[in-house]
Amino acid sequence: CGMALCGACTVHIDGQPTRSCVTPISALANKKVVTIEAIGTDKVGKAVQAAWVELGVPQCGYCQGGQIMTATALLKQKPRPTDADIDEAMAGNICRCGTYTRIRAAIKQAAGQQGAKS
């Protein structure tokens, strides 16, 4: 969207979910940037991706990178999130296909799979 409204472009900058579409490259000096392409190398990210696949979360797939990045950041901060925690963390990520119920289920499943914070 280019205006930080949908969440599809979410990346992690120093572990925090950040909208890349409005983040100037100059702000990234000496920062660690993780994109969807690398999130599966992390224990928590791998658990989230596995849950997404197992539960068949995506339909069109457009928003899924941002959803997975945000879910991974949530589980790193709160390994056992409540429904309210999930709602708050995921609120800025729009899924036009309406897979929110499956997204919530996948986050809960990943929380069970990933165990301790990593």
Instruction: Tell me if 103 is assigned to some domain.
Output: yes
Residue 30, classified by CB atoms within 10 Å of its CB into exposed (0-12), middle (13-18) or buried (19+), is exposed
Model pLDDT, residue 114: 59
CATH number where 70 lies? 1.10.150.120
- The secondary element (H helix, E strand) that includes residue 46 is helix 43-54
Distance of CA 10 to the CA centre of its chain: 7
Instruction: Tell me if 4 is assigned to some domain.
Output: no
Are 117 and 45 in contact, with CB atoms under 8 Å apart?
no
User: Could you report the per-residue pLDDT of 20-61, keeping only the tens digit for each?
Assistant: 999 999 999 999 999 999 999 999 999 999 999 999 999 999
Strands (E), 20-72: 33-34
Provide the residue range defining the domain that includes 77. 10-114
Instruction: Tell me if 75 is assigned to some domain.
Output: yes
Tell me how many domains the chain contains.
Answer: 1
